[in-house]
A and B are shown apart, each in its own frame.
Chain A
Amino acid sequence: MGREPFEVVVERYGPMVLRVCWAVVGPTLAEDAWSETFLAALRAYPELPPGSNVEAWLVTIARNKAIDQLRAQSRRPVPTERLPEPIRWEEHDVGLDLWNALKRLPRKQRETVAYHYLAGLPYTEVARLLGGNPASARRAGADGIASLRSMLAPSVQEKGPR
Chain B
Amino acid sequence: MTGQDFPELGPFATMSGAEMDLSRLRLRLVAEAEREGLLDVVYRTVDAPVGRLLLAATRRGLVRVAYEVEGHDTVLATLAERISPRILKAGGRLDTVARQLDDYFSRVRSGFEVDLDLRLASRFRLTVLEHLREIPYGSTASYAAVAALAGSPRAVRAVGTACATNPLPIVVPCHRVVRSDGGIGRYVGGDDAKRALLRLEGAV
Contact = CB atoms under 8 A, between A and B. Distances in A.
Contact of B80 (A2, A43, A88, A90): A2
B77 interface: yes
A104 interface: no
B81 to A, nearest CB: 4
Contact of A162 (B10, B14, B16, B87): B10
B3 A88 contact: no
Bin chain A's interface residue count.
35 or more
A145 B10 contact: yes
Interface string B17-55: 111111001101100110010100101000000000000
A118 interface: yes
A6 to B, nearest CB: 5
B70 to A, nearest CB: 15
Interface in A108-162: 117-120, 145, 148-149, 152, 156, 158, 162
A4 B76 CA distance: 8
A10 B21 contact: no
A55 B1 contact: yes
A148 B11 contact: yes
B25 A18 contact: yes
A87 B76 CA distance: 31
Contacts of A158: 10
B2 A120 contact: yes
B89 interface: yes
A87 B15 contact: no
A111 to B, nearest CB: 15
Given A98-B11, A120-B2, A4 B25 contact: no
Contacts of B9: 117, 145
Given A18-B20, A19-B3, A35 B11 contact: no
Interface in B50-84: 76-77, 79-81, 84
B28 A89 contact: no
A35 B25 contact: yes
A149 to B, nearest CB: 5
Contact of B14 (A4, A94, A117, A149): A94
Nearest to B17: A90
Contact of A156 (B11, B16, B43, B80): B11
Interface in A30-48: 31, 34-35, 38-39, 42-43, 45-46
B33 A42 contact: yes
A120 B25 contact: no
A46 B85 contact: yes
A91 interface: yes
B15 A45 contact: no
Given A35-B25, A162-B8, A43 B36 contact: yes
14 contacts: A5-B88, A7-B76, A7-B88, A16-B2, A19-B3, A19-B15, A31-B28, A42-B86, A87-B21, A90-B17, A117-B12, A118-B16, A120-B3, A145-B11
Given A16-B2, A94-B14, 18 more contacts: A5-B77, A5-B85, A6-B85, A19-B16, A31-B25, A39-B32, A43-B36, A87-B20, A89-B19, A95-B15, A98-B15, A101-B11, A117-B3, A118-B15, A118-B16, A145-B11, A149-B10, A156-B14
Interface of A: 2-7, 10, 14-16, 18-19, 31, 34-35, 38-39, 42-43, 45-46, 55, 87-91, 94-95, 98, 101, 117-120, 145, 148-149, 152, 156, 158, 162
